[in-house]
Structure 1
Amino acid sequence: MTSDKARYWLLALPALAVMAIFYIWPLVNIWAISVTEPVPGFGNYVQGAESQAVTTSFVITFRVAALTTVFCVILGYICAYAIANTIRRAKPLLIALVLLPFWVSVLIRSFSWIVLLGRSGIVNDALRDVGVIERPLRLMHNEFGVVLAMVHVMLPFAVLPLLANMRGISPAYTDAARGLGASELTAFRLVYLPQTLPGIGSAALLVFVLSLGFYITPALLGGGRVLMVSEYITYQIQEFLNWGLGSALSVALLVATALVLVIAGRFLNLKNALLERS
């Protein structure tokens, strides 16, 4: 038993060393900067807590992340359900289509939405040509454009956990419910849907946590008017060279994300959720 433990730690040490060097040590440095610059103490955290701009950016961040999560879970559920219940020969193609956006840079996808949603973009030009509108609609540089583009980017992260969950559900349960006289809608609502709740929770948690730290798409589609925390941190460090406040906000965002995981852990089995996704 002792030799097995020693062998286990020998195998785990390289991964632990990489994590300590490239993840834990930078986090420690960020925390150290937040309490040492420009002066020692927790002044940066107090400044952030008292700043209306910081409060607004956190509210916008959580609101955009929540909206993105809701739409991704709804659309992801529909896509995953269609894939899970289609004929076997079509499933590889449909899964490949879900994974296809991963092969395209997030930056390129965000610029594509700018081409579509701009004042002289494809959508406005098409609506104006058919006489639906007279003046261009404001489809970007607001939360609508940011959420729409983020849903496009995050949707695969919702589909995959849901699909993994649905593939483990036997159709015999709904068939039995239909055989006992339940309608198709009743069988779905009372039998199938409850079994997919773990997948819904996993998809929602994954999309929400990733959306909290999103930067590229909100920065491009928001146009500086939808200022999420990640973009606010970038302004503080790059534009104002305020490393102390920027580091403090980074730590605050990390703590907020950790709290989300802790709260979710009380309702979800995170270990099973991660194994299910893998």
Structure 2
Amino acid sequence: MIAKPSGKFLLLAPLLLFLGLAYAVPFLGVVRWSFTLPEPGIGQYKAVFSDPLVRSVFLRTLRICLIVTVASLLAAYAIAYVWVRGTRTQRMLAEFCILVPFWISVLTRAFGWLALLSNRGLINTWLQAAGIIGSPLALARNELGVIIGMTHFLIPFAVFPIASAMRSIDERVLLAARGMGASRSRIFWTVFVPLTYGGLIGAALIVFVFALGFFVTPAILGGGRSVMVAELVYLRIFQSPDWGLGAAISVILVLFIAALLALMRRFIKPAHLIG
């Protein structure tokens, strides 16, 4: 007998069809470009690993993504702690700081940071007017500006899984540690923080995956001096043009992200990723 399709599959079929047409089919076209342009073969993939420029961009991207991930986790942990365990006023303020950035587009945020960090921006102007510095600090159009802008954008995404892990902690465990004479700092570092490792790992993977595909923020705050992988793909496709190499870089980036997502699915509980 032929098994009838389940009701859940029938409900998901339109979504799966849409995703296949909207994402899978175009991606297969990109894969075809990577093997056929400018001539058939795997030459473009060899170029990805042999071209010093492409290698340097990949290394820069990984370095920036790691720094942004660490900075985002540190800031998100402090915000999530206040959001979960602070007073009512502190929780409302933390929630306001978490939700407001979602209402502002990434382009607006990038230009806002450029207005703050550029040589004639508000920060350098104020520091020079106060006599603290004699010449403008190089805060934009370099890796520092890219890191600041990306960290600001990604902090809210790291808050939710961390806060979810914090809310799942059994208060009786903390009370037991307190009853055994542990100080507040010792409870925090030896009990509270280890119990939130799942949320930290989940947040780190989410931030790192998002950071790998950033385009607008590095393009604006980097000023062409801190090119990342997504911007390199754009340059190869629309300015060189070298569609084969751009497609090969895209395929490698997608496969790398897919591997990270598979790792996240394998080791992280889904409940820790939901705020």
Give TM class, smaller chain. over 0.9
Distance 1:4 1:194 in 2: 47
Distance 1:134 1:93, change over 3 A: closer
TM-score when normalising by structure 2:
0.94
**Sequence identity percentage:** 37
Structure 1 counterpart of 2:245: 245
Distance 1:226 1:178 in 2: 49
Structure 2 residue matching 1:35: 3-state secondary structure: helix
Structure 2 counterpart of 1:135: 135
Question: Are the counterparts in 1 of residues 82 and 91 from structure 2 also a CA contact under 8 Å?
Answer: no
Structure 2 counterpart of 1:171: 171
Q: CA RMSD in A?
A: 1.8
Structure 1 residues 84-138: Cα deviation after superposition (integer angstroms, max 9, x where no partner) = 0023465355323201101001000000111101111111111111111111111
Which structure 1 segments of 5+ residues have no match? none
Distance 1:261 1:31 in 2: 20
Question: Are the counterparts in 1 of residues 161 and 274 from structure 2 also a CA contact under 8 Å?
Answer: yes
User: Deviation at 1:40?
Assistant: 1.0
Structure 1 counterpart of 2:46: 46
Question: Alignment length, in residue pairs?
Answer: 274
Q: Is 2:268 the counterpart of 1:269? A: yes
80-89 or 130-139, which deviates more: 80-89
Structure 2 counterpart of 1:37: 37
Structure 1 counterpart of 2:110: 110
User: Deviation at 1:259?
Assistant: 2.8
Distance 1:256 1:91 in 2: 37
User: Deviation at 1:7?
Assistant: 1.6
Q: Within 5 Å, give how 1:1-278 maps onto structure 2.
A: 5-88=5-88, 91-265=91-265, 268-269=267-268, 271-273=270-272, 276-277=273-274
132-141 or 163-172, which deviates more: 163-172
User: Deviation at 1:264?
Assistant: 4.6
Distance 1:98 1:85 in 2: 15
Quick one: which amino acid aligns to residue 258 of structure 2?
A
User: Deviation at 1:226?
Assistant: 0.4
Structure 1 residues 39-93: Cα deviation after superposition (integer angstroms, max 9, x where no partner) = 1111111122211110000001111000000000011000000110023465355
Distance 1:190 1:116 in 2: 39
Question: Which 4+ runs in 1 deviate beyond 2 A?
Answer: 2-6, 87-94, 258-266, 268-273
Quick one: which amino acid aligns to residue 221 of structure 1?
L
User: Deviation at 1:4?
Assistant: 8.2
Which structure 2 segments of 5+ residues have no match? none
53-62 or 83-92, which deviates more: 83-92
Distance 1:160 1:200 in 2: 10
Distance 1:146 1:18 in 2: 34
122-131 or 172-181, which deviates more: 172-181
Distance 2:199 2:127 in 1: 38
Question: Are the counterparts in 1 of residues 79 and 94 from structure 2 also a CA contact under 8 Å?
Answer: no
Distance 2:234 2:145 in 1: 21
